[in-house]
């Protein structure tokens, strides 16, 4: 066990899913030819005036309520002054001393609450593109609305950091204010990390790893930086406060610039925007529109629907999957059947986390609902339904395109007995293996029955009959 404890806090930038930018009418659509999604306001030409997008404030409040924040009745916008090529007007409009949301938390599975200092709104900067030794600037992203979620240094392990980011991503997606696609830059994290002796209450000197856009890389960067700082201290050196970049090719961090205790951004109130005033009635109205949040939904699935914890976690991880599950379960006696089909057959067609997040499948919730109703009415068996679902997922057609009247109703006892006898006579080696104590040999006999009955046989009844006939 290490003699040192990791201490970390995250600053998470999330692009909001508004149709237009924070201070103008330009589109927020991802991609597009460079410098085609911008206007004089975006790039801060002299004489232009910003106008705050009301939807940005509403979305930030939704995020704040979903993360247990207090909502400020009065907040304001400020100018954060610094010169960098991706910021053409040499200042960013952000919030300084009066953020919109404050004092929230995200609770981890171990019970630890990661406190949120604040959530504030601001504009994104443009993007620098380095090519063939030259640097180009694309201002399409400039002015896209952001929320910045700042946590206290409450994270104590890489695992907690991973869970915190995953939970934050999940919550923000659920309330519909961002897609949080890290691969597209709509969610990015700056990781502040320090180490201290186990049992100490004094914070160590921190470093900041900038612009992390992958949960996997956040974990790797934190592991490397923790070990680097411990090695420095144990060899008699000291950690220098600085801003770092992470290189995923070498799995190392390197210095970008030294970082003083306090930046001199020369913040002052943005003179071209009015005070933001939010009444309690407005906050209450927004609160009423929030959906059931993932943690509450997970507990309901486990306690009321009887879905195992691990399965419930997979179902609630992505909002689109949850919506599909709930729609496909309407009017059913046992929603667990739908859950099993989603986690089995459907997930087999969605190989990556990104594919599960997008959840673009040909089968509709109504089609899956119809299939499960055929099982619950006793017209078809589970294995026939599973075979039909595989075909439905590949084609987008409904259950009745693959199951006809002759498939419904199952087999009577006489027909099942005859099939069992055929299975035994056709597979003497498997019968001999079973007699010699190999229980698994029955599965090949069962496979024969299911194939030749086109899935109409009751698997449990067939197994019981095989055991009687095979001895």
Could you report the per-residue pLDDT of 454-471, keeping only the tens digit for each?
667 777 778 888 887 865
Fold entry, domain 413-470? Arc Repressor Mutant, subunit A (1.10.10)
Write the CB contacts of 418 (distance below 8 Å, at least 6 apart in sequence).
none
The residue written with tokens 């990791």 in the block is 6
Do 104 and 119 touch, CB atoms closer than 8 A?
yes
- pLDDT of the residue at 467: 81
Do 102 and 117 touch, CB atoms closer than 8 A?
yes
pLDDT tens-digit readout, 51-105: 999 999 999 999 999 999 999 999 999 999 999 899 999 999 999 999 999 999 9
- pLDDT of the residue at 419: 81
Do 191 and 161 touch, CB atoms closer than 8 A?
yes
Residue 423 parent element (H or E)? helix 413-426
Paired residues of 151 in beta bridges? 116
- pLDDT of the residue at 409: 57
Residues of the chain with CATH 1.10.10.410: 413-470
- pLDDT of the residue at 405: 63
Global pTM value: 0.84
- pLDDT of the residue at 227: 96
- pLDDT of the residue at 76: 98
* Residue 349 Cα distances to 282, 355, 395, angstroms: 43, 9, 12
**Phi/psi at 449 (5° precision):** -65, -45
CB hemisphere CA count around 115 (13 angstroms): 6
- pLDDT of the residue at 408: 63
With residues binned 3-state (H G I as helix, E B as strand, rest as coil), the percentages for the chain, rounded to 5, are 40, 20, 40
DSSP 342: I
DSSP 3: S
Low-confidence ranges of the chain (pLDDT < 50): none
CA angle (211 as vertex; 253, 242 as ends), nearest 5 = 50
CA angle (124 as vertex; 122, 128 as ends), nearest 5 = 155
């Amino acid at each position: 066990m290490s003699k040192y404890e990791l201490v970390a806090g995250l600053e998470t930038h999330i692009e909001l899913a508004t149709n237009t930018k924070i201070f103008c009418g330009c589109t927020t659509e991802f991609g597009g030819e460079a410098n085609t999604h911008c206007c004089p306001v975006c790039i801060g030409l002299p004489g232009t005036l910003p106008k705050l997008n009301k939807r940005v404030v509403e979305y930030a409040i939704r995020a704040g309520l979903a993360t247990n924040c207090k909502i400020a009745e009065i907040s304001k916008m400020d100018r954060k002054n610094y010169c960098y090529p991706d910021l053409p007007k040499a200042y960013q409009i952000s919030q300084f001393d009066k953020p919109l949301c404050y004092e929230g938390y995200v609770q981890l599975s171990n019970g630890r609450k990661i406190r949120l200092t604040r959530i504030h709104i601001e504009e994104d900067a443009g993007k620098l593109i380095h090519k063939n030794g030259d640097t180009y600037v694309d201002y399409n992203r400039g002015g896209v609305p952001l929320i910045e979620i700042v946590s206290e240094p409450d994270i104590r392990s890489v695992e907690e950091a991973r869970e915190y980011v995953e939970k934050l991503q999940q919550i923000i997606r659920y309330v519909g204010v961002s897609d949080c696609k890290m691969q597209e830059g709509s969610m990015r994290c700056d990781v502040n990390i320090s180490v201290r002796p186990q049992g100490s209450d004094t914070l160590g000197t921190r470093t900041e790893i900038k612009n992390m856009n992958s949960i996997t890389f956040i974990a790797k960067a934190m592991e490397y930086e923790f070990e680097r700082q411990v090695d420095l201290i144990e060899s008699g050196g000291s950690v220098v406060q600085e801003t770092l970049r992470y290189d995923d090719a070498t799995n190392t961090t390197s210095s970008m610039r030294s970082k003083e205790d306090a930046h001199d951004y020369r913040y002052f109130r943005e003179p071209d925007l009015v005070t933001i005033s939010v009444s309690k009635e407005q906050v209450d109205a927004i609160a009423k529109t929030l959906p059931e949040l993932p943690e509450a939904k997970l507990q309901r699935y486990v306690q009321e629907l009887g879905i195992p914890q691990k399965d419930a976690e997979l179902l609630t991880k992505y909002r689109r999957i949850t919506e599909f599950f709930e729609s496909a379960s309407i009017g059913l006696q046992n929603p667990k059947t739908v859950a099993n089909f989603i986690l089995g057959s459907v997930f087999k067609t969605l190989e990556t986390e990104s594919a599960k997040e997008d959840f673009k499948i040909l089968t509709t919730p109504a089609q899956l609902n119809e299939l499960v109703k055929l099982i619950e009415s006793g017209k078809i068996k589970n294995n026939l339904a599973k075979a039909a679902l595989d075909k439905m997922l590949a084609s987008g057609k409904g259950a009745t395109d693959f199951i006809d009247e002759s498939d419904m109703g199952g087999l009577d006892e006489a027909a099942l007995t005859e099939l069992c006898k055929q299975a035994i006579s056709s597979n003497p080696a498997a019968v001999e293996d079973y007699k010699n104590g190999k229980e698994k040999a029955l599965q090949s006999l069962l496979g024969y029955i299911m194939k030749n009955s086109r899935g109409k046989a009751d698997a449990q009844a067939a197994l019981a009959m095989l055991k009687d006939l095979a001895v």
